[in-house]
Structure 1
Amino acid sequence: MPTVSMLDHLVLTVADLQATIRFYEDILGMRAVSFEPADGSTRWALSFGAQKINLHPADGPFDPKAALPAPGSADLCFLSDRDLDEWRQHLQAHEIRIEEGPVRRTGATGPILSLYLRDPDGNLIEVSNALHS
C-alpha cells in the first residue's frame, strides 16, 4: 500500500488577507511570499522553515478547496526553540491574549509544553516547546 511521508502545505481560509499576513509575520515570525500557480493568478502564502501555509481569501477561495472553507476553523500547533517565557513576553508586548498555558500536551513526536492564542480569524494557535525526557 502506498503511504504519504510528510505534509507539504496546508490552506487557511481568511477573512482579511493583510491582517492575517501582519499577524503571522509580526507575531509568529513567518514570511509572506507571493506565488503564481499554473492559472496565472497571484496568491499568498506564509513561509517558515521548510513549510508553508497557503492563504485563500474567504470572499474568493481558489478551486479546488475544502468542502466548507471558513475563517476560524483551524487548530494549528507550531514548535519553537524559543522558551515560552520569551513567547509570553512577546505576545504581551503585542497585546495578544494567551488563552491557556503553559500546559503539557502530547505532540507528534512526544511531550510538548504549549501556549494557546488566536489569530485574527479566531483560529486556535498553539506555540510549543518540545520536552526532552
Structure 2
Amino acid sequence: MRITGIDHLVLTVFSIEATIDFYSRVLGLDVVTFGTGRTALLLGDQKINLHEASAPIRPHAARPVPGSADLCLIVVGEVDAVVARLAEENTSVEFGPVDRTGARGPIRSLYVRDPDQNLIELAFYDTARGCGAD
C-alpha cells in the first residue's frame, strides 16, 4: 500500500452555519453541498466535511467533539495583508507570525481560532525559495 495524500477530513462543529460563515467570510474558502444535504469546505483539491455535533454522520470518530482539531492551512499571499484582513473581520491572531516547519519546508505561520475554538494555523511558504503553494 502507498498513501499519496489527504482527500478530506471531518470537523465536528456546534453549528454548521457559524462554521460556514467563518471559513467562507473570514478565510475565503468555498462551500459546497453534496450527498443528502451534507456540507464541506473546499481547499484546492481537498475538502473539510462538516458534521454537526448533535448529529454526527456514521461512521465517525470514537469521540467526535467540537474544538478538538488543530489544522494547518496553506495561504498564498503576504502575511501582513492577511493580518490586516483578519483585523477587518474582528478575528484575533492568537500567536504569530512565527517561523515553523511545514511538510514541504520552512513556513511563516499565524494562529487563529474558529467558532468552535479549533486552532487554525495559517501557513505561508516562501515562494522565493521554491516552496510555493501554487
TM-score range, shorter chain: over 0.9
Q: Which runs of 4+ in 1 moved over 6 A?
A: none
Q: Are positions 1:56 and 2:40 aligned together?
A: no
* Residue aligned with 1:20, SS: helix
Tell me the distance in 1 between the aligned counterparts of 2:34 and 2:92: 32
* Residue aligned with 1:7, SS: coil
Alignment counterpart, residue 78 of structure 2, candidates 83, 105, 108: 83
TM-score by length of 1: 0.93
Using the TM superposition, name which of 123-132 and 67-76 deviates more.
123-132
- The alignment's C-alpha RMSD in Å is 1.0
- Length, aligned pairs only: 128
Could you list the runs of 5+ residues in structure 1 that have no partner in the other structure?
A: none
Question: For residue 14 of structure 1, what is the aligned residue in structure 2?
Answer: 13
Q: Give the drift of 1:48.
A: 2.1
* Residue aligned with 2:27, SS: coil
Instruction: Spell out, residue by residue over 1:44-86, the C-alpha distance to the aligned partner (whole angstroms, 9 max, x if none).
Output: 0011211110000000000000111010000011111111100
Question: For residue 99 of structure 2, what is the aligned residue in structure 1?
Answer: 104
Q: Give the drift of 1:42.
A: 1.6
| Aligned AA (1:67) | A
Tell me the distance in 1 between the aligned counterparts of 2:19 and 2:28: 12
Q: Give the drift of 1:3.
A: 1.7
Q: Give the drift of 1:113.
A: 0.2
Instruction: Spell out, residue by residue over 1:21-46, the C-alpha distance to the aligned partner (whole angstroms, 9 max, x if none).
Output: 0000011111111101xxxx321001
Q: Are positions 1:26 and 2:25 aligned together?
A: yes
Question: For residue 70 of structure 1, what is the aligned residue in structure 2?
Answer: 65
Tell me the distance in 2 between the aligned counterparts of 1:68 and 1:80: 30
* Residue aligned with 1:59, SS: coil
Could you list the runs of 5+ residues in structure 2 that have no partner in the other structure?
A: none
